[in-house]
Structure 1
């Protein structure tokens, strides 16, 4: 085998680094322009947005490449400015919580929400989580019939007020005045709405399970198919939820699996009518999914698991009547979703 000179290898690596740096920079610029114009109107922009902020992290490498490899001062300066803007954005959005200051007299309520991923989460693990957190209201999604039957009696002593179906359930320490099953936008996915009595105040609560997006092969030419990002079922459900919350006259709490990240247009729609508990009082990215995914499909004969979630799709929201004291992503169960918790303070009472 003929030996390749070292200087040729170095030149090739430098050219590759230049190509990647310029290509990535052009990609980011085009993405932001198209997002400004279309937002989630283009499926490719919606798909890329799902991976923000992860997709922005390579920006931190550009000034180094600009100085050491490309050796263009203008490129290094622009890249450095981009890094400063990215750090500022990350700090403001993810690392600057503003929990509300409270007094002992203000009524507070602890919320736990968890997608237990159908049959994966075992009852002892769930009971341990509940015992550690001691929430006042529990929102569960993706329950199956057998675990539901086991869980309901086991929680009866501490949570005497319970409503549930084969897929979603609410467990409450406070009386449930009324409840109803929802199918937002007329879709198959099941949600719940209930009214509880908290501190002599009626409160509307929603247990949310939105339809998840997926990649689907779509035929674009006669013999050629391309993957297309489909999220057209989730958006009508989110819009239906927003319209319902806008009509509410009671304090509102909404928790559950929204199957959307905090950079999507659907997130922005919800944020116009409610506050995100984690964004207000949590710290960090708050990623909740996917946890514990086996990578055997990607790497044969591997026992690797993805134990570091890269998306935040589980939320606790609240209306203007509340403030968030704290919010966090909690200890993992067997589910591929991490549970989330929040402590909310009732600021404004609405007596009817």
Structure 2
């Protein structure tokens, strides 16, 4: 019996170690002919902790069985060190007059469809944002409409934040008082000398641009700031109902629901790969230091986010603390870090914060930086 247990333990160890290595590889290689492989990076943190659990169990059971998972973890370095950030100076305020503060937040349409219980969510978001006193606000899922309470945001929000230099995605096709707007908005206290769409709208109905840029003149320097909201998963009400509690579903429902979720994960990941390609192409032609911020809809360990992080500094790792989880999770979907602020290597991040407010399904993030 003991031999059988050891054999099972060894098989589980081998499977988890191989899956961890495959997850690591999926972030480095874009294997387009293996679409299922593309989503492996999403599992990296969980596979890492599973392998750590195997090591701990092996130490009390058969220490030599810890060699394989330990080797797998070491083979993925430095990724394990990027799950948790520790910076002693995270709360340091230098008072440097050259510091710039940028804040990114997926505001989820200011709670237009009452996902949150409070009827005053839009006001709570506004109060929070105004207290931050950022130089530049990058808002995703910004909503404006002429009808209904708490929807007329096009002019109100910039005025409230004292950030009246604005760029609203596709505003060139709208008048100064649009009837409806949903998408990316960049609000700045400093002049915007140039702006435009980087990743344009798709043919999908009610789609929005997935990335814009704004060249912001701050003092004697210009910074190109990208506002990003990569392709969402496209879950419908049936998917969300399934995800509320997978463990309580019958096996046949789990199978069908799981297939639907996996299919949408793969499709969205492939779409984001194309969007990141367009973003990187636009970045390669930038004459200025760059900040890239927003909702990437992917964890730090996927191929798409790695494409950006290999070229830029991650403000969370440079100046943040903790796990930095930005998506609050839903049902069987755990909390995760899918919102980022990246900077060019000439940018020095002095402070990074993941704000603990729950007005949206995302948490806002902000970074203070200087340009060398």
TM bin, normalised by shorter chain, reads 0.7 to 0.9
Aligned residue in 2 for 1:240: 278
**For 2:139, what is the secondary structure of its paired residue?**
strand
Matched, 1:109 2:100: yes
Q: Give the equivalent residue in structure 1 for 2:11.
A: 22
Q: Which structure shows the higher strand fraction?
A: 1
Cα distance, 1:47 vs. partner?
Answer: 2.4
1:161 aligns with 2:165: yes
2:299 pairs with 1:261: yes
Aligned residue for 2:275, secondary structure, equals helix
Instruction: Check whether the contact 1:99–1:324 (CA below 8 A) recurs between aligned residues.
Output: no
* Residues in 1 aligned to 2:214 and 2:78: alpha-carbon distance in whole angstroms: 40
Q: Which residue of 2 aligns with 1:192?
A: 212
Q: Partners of 1:201 and 1:258 in 2: how far apart? A: 27
Instruction: Give the SS at the match of 1:238.
Output: helix
- What displacement does 1:213 show? 4.2
Partners of 1:254 and 1:82 lie apart in 2 by 32
| TM-score, length-scaled by structure 2 | 0.72
Distance, in Å, in 2 between the alignment partners of 1:40 and 1:98 is 36
- Per-residue Cα deviation, 1:222-242 (whole angstroms, up to 9, x for no partner): xx9944322111011111111
Aligned: 1:335 with 2:325? no
Counting matched residue pairs gives 315
Q: Deviations over 1:28-68 (max 9, x none)?
A: 22441575387442333332321321232122332443355
Q: Distance in 2 between matches of 1:182 and 1:67?
A: 52
For 1:119-198, what aligned pairs fall within 5 Å after superposition?
A: 119-120=110-111, 122-146=121-145, 149-150=152-153, 152-156=155-159, 158-165=162-169, 166=181, 167-184=183-200, 188-190=207-209, 191-198=211-218
Give the match's secondary structure for 1:144: strand
Distance 1:169 1:35 in 2: 34
Query: Partners of 1:34 and 1:234 in 2: how far apart?
Result: 18
Identify the residue that residue 316 of structure 1 maps to in structure 2: 341
Root-mean-square deviation (Å): 3.6
**Which residue of structure 2 lines up, in the alignment, with residue 7 of structure 1?**
none
Counterparts of 1:138 and 1:246, CA distance in 2 = 24
The within-5 A match list for 1:274-285 is 274-285=312-323
Q: Is the 8 A contact 1:290 1:337 kept in 2?
A: yes
Aligned to 2:232: 212
Instruction: State how far apart, in whole Å, the 2-side matches of 1:123 and 1:152 are.
Output: 14
- Whole-angstrom distance in 2 between the partners of 1:345 and 1:51: 34
Q: Secondary structure at the match of 2:231?
A: coil
SS of corresponding position for 2:284? helix
SS in 1 for 2:156: helix
Contact 2:16 2:69 (C-alpha < 8 Å) held by counterparts: no
Distance 1:272 1:251 in 2: 16
TM-aligned CA deviation for residue 22 of structure 1: 3.0
Contact 2:41 2:303 in 1 (8 A): no
1:178 and 1:245 map into 2 onto residues whose CA distance is 15
Q: Distance in 1 between matches of 2:222 and 2:189?
A: 14
Distance 1:201 1:129 in 2: 28
Task: Give a deviation string over 1:167-209, Cα, whole Å, max 9, x none.
Answer: 1111111112232234349675313222221012222211111
Matched, 1:286 2:324: yes
Change (3 A) 1:272 1:168: same
